[in-house]
Amino acid sequence: MKKILNKIGIVPVALGLIFLQACNKENSLGEDPYAGGKEPLGIVFENLNRPMASVRPGDVFEVKVRGLQKHEADVEVFLNEQLADVVSLSDSTLEVRVPSLVSSGGLKIKIRDQIYFGPRVPIEGNVRFDSDYGVKNGFNGSVNYILPGTGGNDFWILGDFSDFENQATNTVFRNNIHKITSLGESVKTAVGSFNVEKGTVGGVNTMVPLADGKYMIGGSMVGFNNNKKSYYLNRITRLNTDGSIDTTVLELINTTPEKPLNAFDTLPAFNAYLGSTINSGFTISSANHLFATPDTGVIAVGNFGLHSFIDYRYSSRESKMFVYTPVNNIVRLKSDGRIDSVFGYNNAGANGFINGAIETNDGKIVIVGAFSSFNGRPANRIVAFNKNGTINTAFNVGTGANEEIYAITYNKSRNKIALAGRFTSFNGVAKFGVVILNADGSVDDTFTLGDVEQRIPTYAYVMNNGKILVSGDFIRYNGIQRSRILILENDGTALQQYNNIGEFAGRINSVVETTSSLGHPALLIGGSFRLADSKSVGNLFKLEVRN
């Protein structure tokens, strides 16, 4: 043992000699990685985290900053990346004039090649983040769709979430479907009121009221839980007026005759399940849009390749016999969940993904996506069909879009359709990213999107006042640093007073027009985002847009 210790003791000595020898060699160490750095100029902002009062273009405001005077000739000031005029400076203050075109954002000082970041400067205008709205923490997952309630006093919020305003507990559930008031508060669930109890297993993408007062929901959900029983479902189901799943008691095969009650089972009354096939191209199927039919059935649009129903004649409580029918993205279902065989009979549907769908005032359904044909006919990323499944030939979009359309929205009061996507032309005419259509499919040539530097718009919506909301991954519009939410005029002009808000980060999925906490026109915006007007949000916020 002693010999081993002695041998080990030699090793550090030898390593030490090697180290000393290496240190004696010339140029043995690399260059100082910090060499050549600029000497600090001693610029310091005071009260950096203190909120500033809002200012308007042309206003002069003052910030406290030390150390500028000796560098006066080299001082440049930028407000949200827009060059601003220096009105005056001393060794403790700086006066700046707000540029004529600018959005809320950070102030920075540049002296030669050194940058100093200052406070955030809010720009006043006609658009305002409604900080008095009751939603503060929001939802902990994406909001996929907002459905206004009767009279616009409340809203169903649908999505992929499990909490709202940190209210969820082991007895309080906020799973993928929730109802809030116009003030942003959870609707109290009185006896007999709409209450989904434990909600769904899997996300909800859409909801539509039916003529009998019930509701159909669609999404990627695979289950529904109330306080008594969990129900298996697949992508689509019907809810009663009180929010419970619509069920029925059926007599099935009893595999245990000694237990007579086993001959009966409680199952969803809407006997329909949507899924995918190996060859459908959909790894996760979903029903993304639902449209009510007069017979209390629905037309389902999404990304799925299979319809199935339970054949009760050959099913028991323990085992269910499913009957499968191939479908392609679109199917019309009767009130019992069976396929309406007349609708789209022997039709191929769309040959690619469907990204969005709307129903117009005259009852036609318009779908958009990444497809190039529909029912075997050319349909470049957009097509309209009637509720009997036939193509609506009166909706004439010509050659359509040359690339994928990401989103479609429709304003019923103005009868206008807005498209957003990665296309650069529509019906052979240059139209980058956003196009506005009339109800007959013709292009509204009044609108042209400005320069977004080849960035892609992902959402567009024609507002009731005729202005157009556009959102995407762009950071500048016509050379001006802007939020990723634009409020444009009907010709695409970005007026300063409607584009004053700060940074938005994320993607919009749904917009509903409402009123702000002060009673002005406003937009309730849902999607997948955590920042709006540089404020932390939880996938839902209200934006006031005064006329």
Q: Among residues 292, 314, 343, which one ends one of the domains?
A: 343
Kindly state whether residues 198 and 336 are assigned to the same domain: yes
pTM of full prediction above 0.85:
yes
Listed residues 106, 124, 142: the one ending a domain: 124
| CATH number, domain containing residue 76 | 2.60.40.10
Is 252 part of a structural domain of the chain?
yes
Question: Token pair for residue 342?
Answer: 């007349």
Would you state the pLDDT for residue 278?
52
Q: What pLDDT was estimated at residue 32?
A: 56
Residues 210 and 333 placed together within one structural domain of the fold? yes
Specify the pLDDT at position 7: 37
Nearest to 62 by CA among 86, 83, 35, 38: 86
Tell me, yes or no, whether 244 and 103 share the same domain: no
CA distance 468 to 486: 8
Does the residue 429 lie in any domain? no
Question: Does 446 reside within a domain?
Answer: no
Domain match, 209 and 64 both:
no
Q: Under DSSP, is residue 413 helix (H, G, I), strand (E, B) or coil?
A: coil
Domain boundary among 70, 90, 124: 124
How many residues does the structure list for the chain? Answer: 547
Same domain, 212 and 81: no
Write down the pLDDT at residue 227: 62
Tally: H helices and E strands in the chain: 1, 44
Instruction: Pull the structure tokens for residue 182.
Output: 């116009």
Residue 185 to residue 162: CA distance in whole angstroms: 16
Is residue 295 domain-resident? yes
Q: What is the pLDDT of residue 195?
A: 81
- For residues 204 and 98, membership in a common domain is answered with no
Does residue 182 fall inside a structural domain?
Answer: no
- Domains in the chain: how many in total? 2
pLDDT at 189: 67
Of 539, 531, 547, nearest to 143 by C-alpha is: 539
Q: Is residue 75 part of a domain?
A: yes
Q: Find the largest Cα–Cα distance for the chain.
A: 99
| Residue spans of beta strands (DSSP E) within 153-251 | 154-160, 177-181, 199-201, 204-209, 215-219, 223-225, 230-232, 236-239, 247-251
Q: Which domain holds residue 115?
A: 44-124
Mean pLDDT by 10 residues, the chain (547 residues): 37 42 50 56 90 97 96 97 97 97 98 95 98 96 95 90 96 94 85 77 97 96 80 92 92 95 94 77 80 95 94 94 93 96 82 96 98 95 95 96 99 98 97 98 98 98 99 98 98 98 98 97 98 98 96
